[in-house]
């Protein structure tokens, strides 16, 4: 393929709008949904953590198939933009369904309904994310140009995450008399997601499919998956992404409980704790392409993971005053912003190299985002099970329960980051070959 020119500013803005919209439609789940399940849907904490994990188990089974089928659908249509148009309607609608009151149903039916909606949301998000990420390879060529699009993607995700962080708790607090305010928050976020996803489609609707086209007689899915295992660099990067998702989701899932019981604050104060993380994420995303052109990938990954670990320790184990907690949030945010861009770019690079040899790019991306979402579910599982170990957190929890909650808030995200550092050390020789 002849090298294409760099993506235009309009293309970058539209591509980022897609990530913005998808995050608006899904970002409230890792942030507040565990708390919503236990406090308003009246689901026991350990069961709520398992409920959040069920969609990710479906992802493990179906995401590679969805990724490959999305390539086939895009090939039949001539473009991946049709899948983005479908997502503009489906993702906001599913978000609203998720927060429709279900407390009138018995617990088993409640769990079945919420679990089914979560599974559907997760699978539809895979359809969009695979099509949206893969279309970056249709829009431009070369790792440098793709990293620019991945930076735009990360900026869209981060800005949306910041808006969700700021708006959702405030809306919940303001409309608390109406189903806890959660349904109103879902309606507001869904409206914004619909507009942003529509803008993305308008920009990319004429981008033809150029990459990820399989051979005329493609192998069966199990055989195609086995063939991808040869790409060890890709799977190593995907594992780091899984661990990063586990750590960040564990930190954010435990935060509402720490805010209420350790910091003795109301829901609106979550914005004060989370805003520095997402503002710092923007900074990390902005500088990541510049750093990636000057520093080896293994050093970026290792350095950013270590910085994230320091941030977690400062935020969760330092003095519970504004300055050290904000400092920890900033360190964690900057590190995660850089990691988001670098990990996605490296995964795209290793996957595109294989797709150039006749393998499905959508299949690789299905595996990648299955790992990402499974990591996010693991964070929820850890916190959900950990809350059962913590004990009852009522109006006046005892001292031992508070101590266990503080330990959970620190150990859950920090231990996973340590494991990710070990993986990066083992992965370094393969990254040097990129």
Q: What region, left, alpha or beta, does residue 125 occupy, with left being phi > 0 and alpha being psi -120 to 50 degrees? A: alpha
CATH number of 9-209+221-432, picked from 1.20.1250.20, 3.40.30.10, 3.40.50.1580, 3.40.50.300: 1.20.1250.20
* pLDDT one-digit tens code per residue, 329-369: 999 999 998 898 888 888 888 887 776 666 777 788 888 88
Q: If pLDDT is split at 50, 70 and 90, which confidence band does 94 have?
A: very high
Terminal-residue alpha carbon distance, the chain: 19
**At residue 274, does pLDDT exceed 90?**
no
Domain ranges of the chain: 9-209+221-432
172 touches 155 (CB < 8 A)? no
Q: If pLDDT is split at 50, 70 and 90, which confidence band does 1 have?
A: very low
Spell out the residues 6+ positions from residue 177 whose beta carbon is closer than 8 angstroms to its own.
none
pLDDT of 369 reads: 81
pLDDT of 282 reads: 82
251 touches 415 (CB < 8 A)? no
pLDDT of 5 reads: 60
**At residue 3, does pLDDT exceed 60?**
no
62 touches 373 (CB < 8 A)? no
Task: State pTM to two decimals.
Answer: 0.72
Lowest mean pLDDT among 22-31, 348-357, 382-391, 395-404: 348-357
């Amino acid at each position: 393929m002849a090298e294409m020119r760099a993506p235009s500013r309009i293309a970058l803005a539209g591509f980022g709008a897609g990530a913005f919209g998808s995050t608006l439609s899904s970002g409230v789940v890792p942030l507040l949904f565990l708390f919503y399940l236990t406090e308003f849907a009246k689901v026991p904490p350990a069961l709520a953590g398992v409920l959040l994990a069920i969609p990710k188990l479906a992802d493990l089974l179906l995401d590679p198939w969805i990724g490959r089928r999305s390539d086939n659908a895009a090939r039949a249509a001539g473009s991946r933009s049709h899948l983005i148009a479908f997502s503009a309607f489906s993702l906001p609608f599913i978000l609203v369904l998720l927060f429709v009151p279900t407390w009138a149903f018995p617990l088993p039916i409640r769990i079945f309904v919420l679990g089914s909606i979560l599974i559907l949301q997760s699978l539809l998000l895979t359809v969009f994310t695979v099509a949206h990420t893969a279309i970056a390879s249709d829009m431009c060529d070369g790792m440098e140009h793709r990293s620019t699009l991945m930076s735009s993607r990360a900026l869209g995700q981060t800005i949306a995450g910041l808006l969700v962080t700021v708006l959702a708790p405030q809306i919940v607090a303001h409309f608390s008399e109406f189903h806890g305010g959660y349904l109103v928050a879902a309606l507001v976020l869904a409206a914004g997601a619909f507009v942003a996803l529509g803008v993305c489609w308008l920009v990319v609707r004429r981008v033809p499919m150029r990459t990820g086209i399989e051979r005329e007689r493609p192998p069966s899915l199990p055989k195609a998956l086995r063939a991808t295992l040869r790409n060890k660099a890709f799977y190593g990067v995907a594992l780091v992404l899984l661990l990063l998702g586990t750590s960040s989701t564990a930190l954010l899932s435990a935060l509402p409980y720490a805010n209420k019981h350790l910091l003795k604050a109301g829901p609106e104060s979550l914005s004060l704790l989370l805003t520095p993380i997402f503002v710092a994420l923007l900074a990390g995303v902005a500088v990541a392409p510049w750093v990636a052109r000057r520093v080896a990938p293994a050093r970026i990954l290792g350095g950013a993971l270590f910085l994230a670990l320091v941030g977690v320790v400062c935020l969760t184990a330092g003095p519970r005053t504004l300055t050290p907690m904000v400092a920890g949030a900033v360190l964690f945010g900057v590190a995660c912003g850089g990691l988001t861009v670098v990990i996605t770019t490296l995964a795209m690079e290793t996957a595109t190299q294989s797709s150039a040899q006749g393998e499905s790019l959508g299949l690789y991306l299905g595996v990648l985002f299955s790992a990402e979402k499974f990591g996010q579910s693991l964070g929820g599982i850890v916190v959900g099970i950990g809350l059962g170990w913590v004990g009852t957190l009522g109006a006046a929890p005892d001292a031992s329960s508070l101590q266990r909650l503080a330990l959970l808030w620190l150990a859950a995200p920090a231990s996973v980051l340590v494991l990710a550092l070990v993986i990066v050390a083992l992965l370094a020789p393969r990254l040097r070959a990129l």
